[in-house]
Amino acid sequence: MTAPDAQPGAAERAAEPHFAGRASEARLLELLLPGSAREPLPSPETGRMADVARPRLRLWQVPAVIPPTTDTLRILDDQATTAVTATTRHWAAVAAFAHDLVRRGRVIPQLVLNPAPPPATSADAHPDPMSMWAAPANNARAVWRPVLTGADAAYFRDLALAMPPACRTSATERPSTDVQREALEEFTDALVRRALTTPLLTKPPRTPQDHWLAALSGDAATTATAARCPDVPGLRRELERWHEAVATSEGATRLCFRLLEPSENDDWRVELALQAADDPSLYVPAAQVWGGVTGLPGKPERELLTGLGRAVRLYPELDRALRVPEPGELALDTAGAFGFLRQAAPLLQAAGFGVQLPRWAGRTRLGLKLTTRTTKQQSAAASQGFGMRELVDFRVDLAVGDETISEAELAELARLKVPLVRVRGQWVELDDRQLKAALRAVEGSRTGQADAAEILRRVVGSDDEVLPLLEVDADGVLGDLLSGQAERRLAPLATPPGLDATLRPYQERGLAWLSFLSELGLGGVLADDMGLGKTITTLALLVHERASAAAPHEPDSTPAPQEQEQERERAGAPTLLVCPMSLIGNWQREAARFAPGLRVYVHHGTARDATEIDHADLVITTYGTAARDLETLKEHTWRRVVCDEAQAIKNSGTLQAQAVRSIPTGTRLALTGTPVENHLAELWSIMEFANPGMLGPRSRFRTRFQEPIEARQDEQAADALKRATGPFILRRLKTDKSIISDLPEKLEVKEWCPLTAEQASLYQAVVDDMLAKIDSSEGIERRGLVLSAMAKLKQVCNHPAHLLKDGSRLAGRSGKLARLEQLAEEILAEGEKALLFTQYAEFGAMLQPYLAQRLDRPVLWLHGGLPKKTRDRLVDRFQHDEEPTLFVLSLKAAGVGLNLTAANHVIHVDRWWNPAVEDQATDRAFRIGQRKNVQVRKLICAGTLEERVDQMIERKKALAERVVGTGEEWLTDLSTEELREVFRLTAEGVS
């Protein structure tokens, strides 16, 4: 819903791939858009600059395709095919909100009257793109409406405040809350209908009420008549009252319920009170409200009575408290208090009422404590040689909170048969299921010996909600593994022979951890912060294993013959590395630079040959190719599958996530700086790749961890999840002092970017045209032609639109721009700032609106055309605004003289090919006053002149020293043959 493309029919053509063969409606919409009298402003997605200084809102007729709601939801859910813009991100957030409301049952059925049809216009304009109902007047329809209360209502308001203006461009100006509510209700209704696999009415409808019930389960998203039904005024009014009863009133105060523990002889009590809606700490008991002393805004007595009238529908037990003129509390027995904790409190809280429970509520539970000790014979093996076949002594105890309880205490609890009991001064919620499970645990084997693998399965795979595993006390390496401290406990592995680099101490510890997990047959997630060297640590693991396989050694224990054969087969098998297309060149060059002894084969492109796989140590492919060649990859034996930028598989249902999970392998490794971006389901997806089945099925993970942690901030669930995932996730942060001390002050990295097919075609056309002219020229003319050719080729490497200057769209056409977006997303996700240098002001002017739209973050732009006051204002904002920000800078205008130490990332988008000039630009961040380590990235298009000039500078350091201050002119002295070699485009640079 961004500003339209200026070309007629572009909206329909853009939508065709999504809706081919579906019942989508093409029509003209009348939208209110900013622009000139001639045309609306171009969308930031196009990268075009507006040529109007003061745009005005005007009505424009825009061709569009209106999809069914189900298709809209599918597109918003499918990140692989949805263009990521501010508007699509917003509607995706609204759709995700609808998914969450439906999943939690926060919906109710309603009967609503259809509005009278609007008068037809010459443009046949639709009042709003999010409205898809077309039922005739005087008819009613059955709908499912979301219930927004408490935190949900607050989140809805926050979403509405963040709505991009382009989301509400209908001809009739409407508040963002109205537009968003309409979209949310459409999404919710479609999702509920999709979830109803069986009709609500199985017999033919006879009464108007039956027609309403039948219409609730029809697929109204694709069939316009499915939701229609006759109006039943009595039913409609009763349903409206129901909605009002469960919805939160937006008054100045709200009713609050506080559960109080009994003293020696008293009963449990629920105290009634009022809370200020904007300040929950302002709490006034009902007795004071009736006494007239409150300090609360509004009319407290009326708010209290209104709240009680609404609450009694959800908590009928409250009726007993309402039998007195001035209700102030509700007395409960133990069973009633337990019922309030388990049933009434969640309902009241979800409906927007205040609920205050004792601190132990939902936290102190009956569970198990597992204690393991390494046997004396095996204690010496607590090192790298420790295997999962080693035996350990174990003991299982019953525990309440931090205290273990004896069998006698358990028997007493069983005898009391009450759901709330005090154990050693702590109140505990205890039901029949827990007691029965505890008695079974006591009757079973509570001590003995088991191998470490079995203990690990008990700890990680424990999914008993009735009697959960509350604590693990283990010693030795198993204890370190379970506590997540194995990386610190293991002896670091020195830089292996064959690795042309020196690992830093934290990288040596990371290598030891990866090797340790691999020897145990376990997968891991290396989630180090960006810039800490996940790539070189992974290459070091491959080199170490190759060297270990060549050296004779005695095994720790003798496995079964079949296991021996499998281990021998996998020891010589290659590692499959799956990464985004933009990182293929990076891995190729890093492997060639740091691990030249590894045989590397890139399985990508039209020339890929599966027979080369068996001759390689490292096979590199992309997520897309892995999905397409899945059956071929399954036929090979893999020692390991590695997923780089593993957030690419965070959505477990995508084809690429399913593909990489299904490839058989010995172990798996996920590399990502952001293991959780939005919600815990992403962590499950990545862990399901690394160690399949370890966290159970997704539905079980959702009920056991995701819902308790995200919705209720359940500390026990969070501890259990950390205990289950901690052994397999290694995350080190740059903010950790022990890591910072190991880092250089300035870390320089070369980022290799592929060309798209369009870039490669343009590149070759420029080379063919310019070489002929250069060969037939001499002197000043030749030097000018060389510099002109270099500039054009660099512009092609940046983006086709940079060379063509045609104002065309930017997305999806440049490998360098794709990599720049990835880096920018990671930097902003870490809450940091970056400087983006380009030598071309026109390209910076294209990048600024594009990145601002794609990333939904501030992107500043400084160039030579700005007055001094504006420059100073931009610098001051960047230095002092705490929000993560990108600063695009023209190299000539900002390469010297600025202090920009708020940034600790510098990206050279296009190279000046003069080390001194680049260092001067880098020194805008890397200077006195900088308190963080600065990461410098230089974007280089693989297989192009950018790569070959970089190689020349690296080979000829003396030349680089000699040409300081002369820019790129030293390249004009090269012969035509040398220039031909520099300009030559190789196949490896094309994606």
pLDDT number for residue 459: 66
User: For the whole model, what pTM was predicted?
Assistant: 0.62
Q: Which of 65, 254, 34 is nearest to 149 (CA)?
A: 254
Higher pLDDT, 674 or 144: 144
Strands 228-229 and 140-146: antiparallel
pLDDT per residue as tens digits for the range 203-243: 888 888 888 888 888 765 555 567 888 888 889 888 888 88
What distance in Å separates the CA atoms of residue 640 and residue 518, rounded to the nearest whole number?
9
Percent of the chain at pLDDT > 90 equals 20
Q: Which of 948, 951, 886, 949 is nearest to 912 (CA)?
A: 949
Residues 526 and 478 sit within 8 Å (Cβ to Cβ)? no
Q: What is the DSSP letter of 322?
A: G
What distance in Å separates the CA atoms of residue 938 and residue 945, rounded to the nearest whole number?
14
Residues 924 and 734 sit within 8 Å (Cβ to Cβ)? no
pLDDT per residue as tens digits for the range 239-276: 888 887 666 555 567 889 999 988 766 689 999 998 87
pLDDT number for residue 465: 58
Query: Which residues lie across from 376 on neighbouring strands?
Result: none
What distance in Å separates the CA atoms of residue 589 and residue 139, rounded to the nearest whole number?
67
- CATH number belonging to the domain at 486-551+564-740, selected among 3.40.50.10810, 3.40.980.20, 3.30.2350.10, 3.40.50.2300: 3.40.50.10810
pLDDT tops 90 at residue 31: no
Two domains, one topology: 486-551+564-740 and 747-989: yes
pLDDT, mean over the chain: 78
pLDDT number for residue 6: 36
Averaged pLDDT, 19-37? 70
- Other beta carbons within 10 angstroms of residue 562's beta carbon come to 8
Residues 802 and 795 sit within 8 Å (Cβ to Cβ)? yes
pLDDT tops 70 at residue 616: yes
Torsion, Cα of 657, 663, 669, 672 (10° steps): -20
What distance in Å separates the CA atoms of residue 181 and residue 728, rounded to the nearest whole number?
42
Tell me if residue 703 falls in helix, strand or coil.
Answer: helix
In the CATH scheme, what is the code of domain 747-989? Answer: 3.40.50.300
Residues 959 and 953 sit within 8 Å (Cβ to Cβ)? yes
Q: What does the DSSP assignment read for 649-668? A: G-STTSHHHHHHHTS--SEE
Query: Which residues lie across from 339 on neighbouring strands?
Result: none
Torsion, Cα of 907, 908, 910, 914 (10° steps): -170
Q: Which of 693, 695, 665, 667 is nearest to 680 (CA)?
A: 695
Domain parsing of the chain, residue ranges? 70-246, 253-356, 376-477, 486-551+564-740, 747-989
Averaged pLDDT, 106-112? 89
Residues 727 and 460 sit within 8 Å (Cβ to Cβ)? yes
Residues 607 and 599 sit within 8 Å (Cβ to Cβ)? no
Averaged pLDDT, 943-965? 63
Q: What is the DSSP letter of 118?
A: P
Q: What is the DSSP letter of 341?
A: I
Which helix (H) or strand (E) segment holds residue 622: the answer is strand 618-622
Query: Which residues lie across from 393 on neighbouring strands?
Result: 373, 449
pLDDT number for residue 231: 87
pLDDT number for residue 18: 37
Express the helix, strand and coil content of the chain in percent, nearest 5 each: 45, 20, 35
Averaged pLDDT, 814-841? 92
Using CB atoms within 10 A of its CB, is residue 557 exposed (0-12), middle (13-18) or buried (19+)? exposed
Q: Which of 627, 639, 643 is nearest to 675 (CA)?
A: 643
Higher pLDDT, 441 or 863: 863
Percent of the chain at pLDDT > 70 equals 76
* Highest mean pLDDT pick, 57-66, 474-483, 536-545, 741-750: 536-545
What distance in Å separates the CA atoms of residue 536 and residue 640, rounded to the nearest whole number?
16
Q: Which of 900, 889, 836, 830 is nearest to 863 (CA)?
A: 889
Q: Which of 49, 50, 14, 52 is nearest to 802 (CA)?
A: 49
